[in-house]
Structure formats: C-alpha cells, structure tokens
Amino acid sequence: MRKQRTLKGPIKATGIGLHTGKKVEIQLNPADVNHGVVFYRADKGVYIEVKSENVVDTTLATTLGKNGIMIKTVEHLLSALYGLHIDNVLVTVWGDEVPIMDGSSAPWVYLLKTTGIIEQNAYKKEIIIKKPVRIKEDGKFAALLPSRKFEVHCSIHFDNTFIGKQKISIEINENTFMKEISKARTFGFTKDIEYLQAHDLALGGSLDNAIVVDEYGIVNEDPLRYENEFVRHKVLDVVGDLSIIGYDIKARYLAYKSGHDLNKKLISKLFEDKEAYEIVGNPNTEKIVGSFVWASLEKSGK
C-alpha cells in the first residue's frame, strides 16, 4: 500500500478537442487527500467527479457528465494520472472536452513529471479482485481476474492488413507505463473519416494527434513509436477507463477487441457483485485483510 499523491503546483495547457475540434484551456491543480480526480467545468460552474456513475457516453471516447454537463475524451489524461500514481487533482476545463494533445498520454506525463509530484499523509485504498468478473458482447470480451498486481493482457483484431492481429501482456506500474504505454497514439482509418465527421466526431483529428491508417499502411510521415503501437494504445485506454474504479487495482485484466463501452460495463458488473472484490484501506489492517483474501484465493485455486 502506498501514500496518496498530488501535484507540487498547477499545470496549464491549451489544445484542440479531438471530437469537437474546439480550442480548449485546461488547468490541473493540487488537491487535498481523499479528494480524488475531479473535473470542474469553469464555463458552466459544475464539478464532475471521476466515478463510474458519471460515465455517460462511450462513443469512441469516455465521457463524464453530471446534471447534463459533460466533459469528453478524459481517458488519456486519466491514464497518465493513474500511471504516475497521482490521486488528488482538480482539473479545471474551459470547454467540454480534454485537449487531445498528440493523441497519447506522453504530453501529460511530461507536464506532470516536470511540475512535480508529492506524497501526502494518507494511504491509497486498493481494490483486490476475489473472483473473476467477465463480460462478452458481439464477439468482444473483457474480464477482471484475481492477481497480486495490475496486469493487462490485451488482444486486438482489425480487418486491415497493416494492423491485423496484435496482442500484449504487461504489468502496469509507473516505469512500464511511461516507457511502454504512454507514448502510444490513438488511431483511425481513412475510410471512416467522412462518416465520423458527418456525425460530429473526430472534427479535431489530424496527423498531428492520431495515427491514420489506410489499406497500405500509415498515412503519417512520422513512423510508429512502437512496432505494435495500436494494441499499446488500447492498453493506454484501458488504464484510463479502469482508473475510474477509484482505487489502486490488483487484478489481471484480460480482453479481446474491447473498448470504452465494454470497459464501462465491466466496471458496472464488478460493483454489482460485492463478493467479487475487497477494498483494503487502513494500512494497519491491510496485512490481516489482504492475507485473508489471498489465502482464500489460493485455497480455492483461483
């Protein structure tokens, strides 16, 4: 169990919303212990807590909302915050979408590390998965399985000769997130651009903030940052989506062709079954509770 963390000081940034195409200003501010990550729509005067009940849309991005006010495309920023173990932040946004930056979490990681991160005088709670939670829809699959650490095993399969099938298995910690996941960019296909923009999606998309793929390869002049950058970006999205659980995750995430919607449904199914997880909080009782959980898992052979 680790201490909670926040920022040493505020971070300001400006960028374009991937789907709205609008210029957005954003500021990340330090926050007290147990504050969590909270968005503040400064133009509307509405606070939106990062929690599963506030996920209101998952169409090509994760959108949080409260009282009809929304903040879109939060997953890349949330991924960076979770990956660097930053727990308490007030995110002030002048607009309805988080800036897409370069389509990855790398710019956020740079800003967060440059500003500095400090420990706080409280411990971060953990969620321990005690039994498998699974969801399957339309040939897609996602599950949370018991594990002593946070692992992601992700497979994708696109009807595109350049991407095809890709898979990765990785333990998520601060080091692996920064080196192996954070730089992976979002991606899309040339054949879908006209349809998406006709439906007010990807209006801010460009070769500067996304990998664009046709039937022959990538359209971008810049090369891929990883050989399997596409599946690594899926892991980046998973980390951001699952961070909405609100605790440090001790689980093995296993998925095939998953996305934001399936992740949302997986979280909902998890919290519906009180026997599927254990929340560990007080470090003085962590050894007792944690040992009981692991002993139970080992006895059952899970």
Q: What is the pLDDT of residue 91?
A: 98
Percent of the chain with pLDDT over 90: 86
Q: Domains in the chain, please, with CATH?
A: 3-123 (3.30.230.20), 126-300 (3.30.1700.10)
For residue 35, indicate whether it is catalytic: no
| Average pLDDT rounded to a whole number, residues 243-269 | 98
pTM of the model as a whole: 0.92
pLDDT at 32 over 70: yes
pLDDT at 247 over 50: yes
DSSP 8-state secondary structure symbol assigned to residue 21: -
Q: What is the pLDDT of residue 199?
A: 85
Least trusted range by pLDDT, from 15-19, 107-111, 125-129, 240-244: 15-19
Q: What are phi and psi of 9, to 5 degrees?
A: -160, 175
Residue 84: name the closest of 63, 54, 105, 100 by CA. Answer: 105
Residue pair 115/32 in contact (Cβ under 8 Å)? The answer is no
DSSP 8-state secondary structure symbol assigned to residue 301: T
Task: Give the pLDDT band of residue 283 (cuts 50, 70, 90).
Answer: low
Average pLDDT along the chain = 93
pLDDT at 69 over 60: yes
Residue 96: name the closest of 19, 27, 11, 193 by CA. Answer: 19
Q: How far apart are CA 276 and CA 65, in angstroms?
A: 27
Residue 78: name the closest of 51, 114, 96 by CA. Answer: 51
Amino acid at 74: V
